[in-house]
Structure 1
Amino acid sequence: MAKREGNQGSTSFADYMNSMDSRKIQFQPGQMIESRIVSISNDTVFLELNGKSEGILEKAELLDKNGELTLKEGDTIKAFFLKAQNGELHFTTRISGEKADLSILEEAYKNHIPVEGVVEKEIKGGYEVAIGETRAFCPYSQMGIKRSEEGSNWVGKHLTFLIQEYKDNGRNLIVSNRAIEEALQAEKIAKLKEILKEHSIITGTIASVQDFGAFVDLGGIQGLIPVSEISRERVANINEVLQSGQEIRAEIIKIDWQTERITLSMKSLSADPWTEAAKKYPIGSKHTGKVIRITDYGAFVSLEPGLDGLIHVSELRSGDKYNNVKGAVKLGQTLMVKILEVDEIRRRISLKPASSAEEEAVSKQYMADEDPQDTYNPFAALLKKNK
């Protein structure tokens, strides 16, 4: 028994020595580590160093703009050694305020540690930035993810920078906010590449509307819905269909990660009427449609959303010697038309106005099937029947 107790004592002493050795881990200021988050308290994040020792990080560094934690226990994080104090090893993800003495800023420059600063004023060629008690210079071209214009409203903002030049013992610092933003954007793109695929269905918010289409916020990158991909129907005024802030569903029809361009389609989520066009609109059949566009060579008539037919100018009679199309039909006019040809491959339907005799015959046939005491508009009824 004594021998067993002695072995237990020896093992315990060895563990104690190993524990003591682990606390002798030496870090250089600015040294980067990649560590697992062990636990999170009210104001402190504890980082695993070697299984027996922990580093600490201020919880505030991991909060987003809404005060929510961006990481959780068990997640891996990159941090930089700041200092050893009262037997504790302090780490940071960025340097700011009281941390920003010149020795720390030099390490931040050498080890690419982000630093926080306040844009104090605009000066020639850029901005003066306060990092703690130190003043730095940020050129116009290094403010924001894209080259900024002079006079942009950056003054007073609290931003994160990388030190690009450290000269004259810290008296001459040049910093870049753009480098930080580009790195964050690259991380977002890497995550989005795992989520966004061609033919995926996404939900997004309209960021802006232009004449040629609408840009959609996809959470870190914008996709474009060309005006031709909004609806099966022809969109004459995009602002009547889409507005900024509107939530939409669309299909990703093309992705180019090199140029960060994503093309979306709302139209593809609705059924294509051309797949059943020949069956639904056989040659010789008569239908009611609305004139939606007039050109020099004829008038386009909408038979249903996304399915338009053309009445060629030769089929229209305006009564004047020039046979002006606009004299024969009016925009928005409802017409009874006859199907001359359906070309599903070329997506074309040829139409002609139904003659008065044909219209009358269709009306009589319909009325013969109805109660003679019932009064109907034959053309409205025909439209209802064809639907």
Structure 2
Amino acid sequence: MSTNDEKEELESAEESFADLFEKSFSAQTRLEPGQKIDAKIMKISGDWIFLDTGRKGEGVLEKKELLNADGEVTVKEGETITTWFLGMVNNELRFTTKLGSGAAGKSQLEDAWRNGIPVDGHVEKEVKGGFEVKISGSVRAFCPYSQIAMRRLDNGADVIGKHLSFRITEYGENGRNLVLSHRAILEEEAAKQKEAQKEILKEGMTVRGTITSIRDFGAFVSIGSIEGLLPISELGWTRVKDVSEVLSVGQNVEVVVKQIDWEHDRISFSLKDTLADPWDNVAANYPEGSFHRGQVARLAQFGAFVTLASGIDGLIHISKLGAGKRINHPREVLKEGETVEVKVESVDRENRRLSLSLAEVSRAAEEEERTIEDFRRSSAESATKTMGTLGDLLKTKLEKTKK
């Protein structure tokens, strides 16, 4: 084979390889309308957001799709977002994060259903079982009560007139029978936020949250997309009987992350840990031997618990309640809610224990002790005087005998 023949064959092989590579690359990068991809924001300019799709050619997205109620862009350059490919428009790769209104949006509803593309909707009115929603300008759709929010709404009027994003969950009769879900959108957003918060949320952190519901055993607190339990035992240093007396739904609170269990999606918070520990100064505020007034918090078989201040409870043992008489239960002497005066008998800061006695009984015992002591002192003085007198008599008699 001549040198020219070899050269022609080599060039032909190179061309074939180039053609194959180009075809392979084109097939790999070809996008289908409705295809979902993650794209990186390259630049935000004017009315458009320019995207790096990881393929040949950059994509564009209308900036208005990512504006909040104040007209501010909710994303940043360099951030990765989820988009859906709409098609080629003026030789540009057009993407969307949700389908809007108008004829274009209406014609793409089936694609939106098949590919999970969010659609914009206006909640028109409340109907049996849910809400009537207008999408793509004039298309009527139905959103069940269970799919309008993460939790069932107490008042359906709260969403009437609002523009929300929906996922089409059912598409029937060529688009005449559409069922929507706003909850699906919320759950996806919550899942993303949760993954992000997993990286930064740590036990011991102080965070701000909102009370979402109240139960007998505590309250649920939402911090962004994450919800956790604030147990009744962690509401404060004082024993709480009714959570609703301390908290209310919608209230903003500052809590400490007590425990995190991502495996079982369980997080617990503490309100108590944000408050000063009243036991830090208990020895100074309630020294042994001091008298104070308090309220009987509860009665037990072995004694009565008395609250002296928020988070400071002491115990009067049953043996100190009967004023010397044996009683079978503290209720024979005291009742819950009663205000009493007590004496601090002992302080155990380490174990958070205050031993108390009823001031009245304590003072009576002290008075009795003083009476006994006075009697003993008087008896001793009398005996000394008697002995002195007898001695004087014997001395006098002895002196007379000597004379």
* Structural mapping, 1:184-263, within 5 Å: 184-206=189-211, 212-235=217-240, 242=247, 247-257=252-262, 260-263=265-268
The residue aligned with 1:157 is 162
Is 2:179 aligned against 1:179?
Answer: no
Q: Partner of 1:29: helix, strand, or coil?
A: coil
Write the deviation string for residues 259-278 of structure 1: whole angstroms up to 9, x where unpaired: 64422113234566779989
The residue aligned with 1:371 is none
The residue aligned with 2:393 is none
Q: Partner of 2:338: helix, strand, or coil?
A: coil
Alpha-carbon distance between aligned partners in 2 of 1:100 and 1:199, rounded to the nearest angstrom = 51
Alpha-carbon distance between aligned partners in 2 of 1:100 and 1:86, rounded to the nearest angstrom = 16
The residue aligned with 1:290 is 293
The residue aligned with 1:61 is 65
2:86 maps to amino acid: L
Write the deviation string for residues 106-157 of structure 1: whole angstroms up to 9, x where unpaired: 2212211111122334444443322223233333433322456896654433
The residue aligned with 2:120 is 116
2:290 maps to amino acid: H
C-alpha deviation, 1:312, in angstroms = 2.2
- More helix, by proportion: 2
C-alpha deviation, 1:255, in angstroms = 3.0
Q: For the pair shown, which has the larger CA radius of gyration, 1 or 2?
A: 2
The residue aligned with 1:308 is 313
2:291 maps to amino acid: T
Normalised to the residue count of structure 1, the TM-score between the two structures is: 0.70
* Structural mapping, 1:130-141, within 5 Å: 130-132=134-136, 133-141=138-146
Normalised to the residue count of structure 2, the TM-score between the two structures is: 0.67
Alpha-carbon distance between aligned partners in 2 of 1:136 and 1:266, rounded to the nearest angstrom = 44
317-326 vs 132-141, greater mean Cα deviation: 317-326
303-312 vs 188-197, greater mean Cα deviation: 303-312
Pick aligned residue for 1:105 from 109, 112, 136: 109
CA contact (8 A) 1:313 1:325 kept: no
Write the deviation string for residues 226-272 of structure 1: whole angstroms up to 9, x where unpaired: 23212223346656655666654332222344664422113234566
1:331 maps to amino acid: E
C-alpha deviation, 1:73, in angstroms = 0.9
CA-based RMSD of the aligned residues comes to 4.1
Query: Cα 1:195–1:138, aligned 2, differ >3 Å: closer, same or farther?
Result: same
CA contact (8 A) 1:290 1:333 kept: yes
Q: Partner of 2:254: helix, strand, or coil?
A: strand
Q: Partner of 2:174: helix, strand, or coil?
A: helix
The residue aligned with 2:356 is 351
Write the deviation string for residues 254-308 of structure 1: whole angstroms up to 9, x where unpaired: 23446644221132345667799899989xx423333222526543234665342
Alpha-carbon distance between aligned partners in 1 of 2:365 and 2:193, rounded to the nearest angstrom = 63
CA contact (8 A) 2:232 2:240 kept: yes
The residue aligned with 1:29 is 33
5+ unaligned residues in a row in structure 2: which ranges?
1-21, 368-403
5+ unaligned residues in a row in structure 1: which ranges?
1-17, 361-387
The residue aligned with 2:390 is none
2:123 maps to amino acid: V
